[in-house]
Structure 1
Amino acid sequence: MDCEMNSSHAHAVEISPLCYDFINGSCPKFVYPLLLKVPLYLFFSSVVILTVLGNLFVILTIVHFKQLHMPTNYLVLSLAVTDLLLGGFVMPPSMLRSVETCWYLGPLFCKIHSSVDITLSTASIINLCFISIDRYYAVCQPLLYHSKITPLVTVIMISICWTVSAIVGFGIIFLELNILGIEKFYYENVECEGGCVLFSFHCSFHCSQ
């Protein structure tokens, strides 16, 4: 009987690998078969390369050609820089985490990665909002466009975009505002070695259902 229990326990360990085998509180790990892992890496890598090269081309084009130096294109340039950073900094570690199902880059870099992810995602949204405002004046009020959307106004828009995004991104993670009021639940039920999850009250509500 004891032999059967030990063998079943060993079998359970084999089918439930951990991110760190010799660390208490390690996250469970799902191991993709090699035939699936290789195509996943190829697909995600191609997305990263296309994202970086596409936005780099937009940046170089706007910077190089002086006839493109206008308020609208400055906003497009800001958006391209945002997406370039997303593709170059955020997406590769996310790819590694998605395929390996574990985070091997340490807790500090996890916080930095999550902060930059939120910052750039927020900046992308705000940039699109400012671009829509710019296009509204250009299409609906063309006579007022040049008096309303000046280079100074564009610089202010871009400054607001990046400042607000950085405050939101780094403030939420490093001040732990995303787990405010649910710290006990997070540290007892969610946090584990080898994990890097952007957790929030909304997530905890649905996880508990």
Structure 2
Amino acid sequence: MVNLFSHNISNSNAINNIYNIIYDYASLISGVLSIIGCSLNLFLLYILIRDKQFHTVSYKLIRISVISDILSSFTIGTGCLLISYEFTYDGGIILCRVVIFFTFTSNGVSILNLCLIAIDRYFAIVKPFYRRYHRRRKQIFYLSQIFVWTIS
């Protein structure tokens, strides 16, 4: 009976080792993918800043979404690469909270900026002669960005 019990313990350790290996590889792969995503977003940001055609309000909103995606990709990539190393439990709690905070904030900013782009396009296409909107377009843009970042 004792040999059977020790055999179960060794099987349990083997299964835990397999899970740890899978966890390490998954965190490394997700870290690398996040770094690739961050690099591509940096390239997109470079294009949006460099070209003069992309300096309209709609593209400024897209630029803000790209910046928030860069922030999210960077924190997720850094978090995944740090998780692949041995972390203490206290460090893991802090890291998890920081990564989740930046991920949810970035997703909120991106989603709300897409809503603002839709509203801007609505006024440009459906109501192109609505003067009150076009006169205060920059003020609306800056106030809506403050609102978006505060809510997110």
Q: TM-score range by the shorter chain?
A: 0.7 to 0.9
Aligned to 2:62: 76
Cα distance in 2 between the residues matched to 1:111 and 1:60: 30
Cα distance in 1 between the residues matched to 2:73 and 2:106: 10
**1:13 Cα deviation after fit:** 2.8
Cα distance in 1 between the residues matched to 2:106 and 2:29: 24
**1:133 Cα deviation after fit:** 0.7
* Matched ranges for 1:79-94 at <5 A: 79-94=65-80
**1:46-86 deviations in whole A, cap 9, x for unaligned?**
x3344223322232233334443222121111111011112
TM-score (norm 2): 0.76
**1:138-179 deviations in whole A, cap 9, x for unaligned?**
1111122762661121111111111111xxxxxxxxxxxxxx
Aligned to 1:3: 3
The answer to whether the aligner puts 1:106 opposite 2:96 as a matched pair is: no
Residue 49 (structure 2) aligned to one of 54, 59, 63: 63
**1:11-52 deviations in whole A, cap 9, x for unaligned?**
32332349xxxxxxxxxx443299xx49x845762x334422
Cα distance in 1 between the residues matched to 2:147 and 2:23: 46
Cα distance in 2 between the residues matched to 1:159 and 1:89: 22
The answer to whether the aligner puts 1:32 opposite 2:10 as a matched pair is: no
**1:105-136 deviations in whole A, cap 9, x for unaligned?**
52112111111111111111111111111111
Residue 148 (structure 2) aligned to one of 150, 161, 178: 161
Structure 2, unaligned runs of 5 or more: none
Which SS does the other structure have where 1:107 is aligned? helix
Contact 1:71–1:149 (CA under 8 A) maintained in structure 2: no
Q: Are the structure 2 counterparts of residues 44 and 90 from structure 1 closer, same or farther at C-alpha, using a change threshold of 3 Å?
A: closer
Q: Are the structure 2 counterparts of residues 81 and 8 from structure 1 closer, same or farther at C-alpha, using a change threshold of 3 Å?
A: same
Aligned residues: CA RMSD: 3.3
Residue 123 (structure 2) aligned to one of 129, 134, 137: 137
What percent of counterpart residues are identical? 21
Which SS does the other structure have where 2:130 is aligned? helix
Which SS does the other structure have where 1:32 is aligned? helix
Contact 1:126–1:161 (CA under 8 A) maintained in structure 2: yes
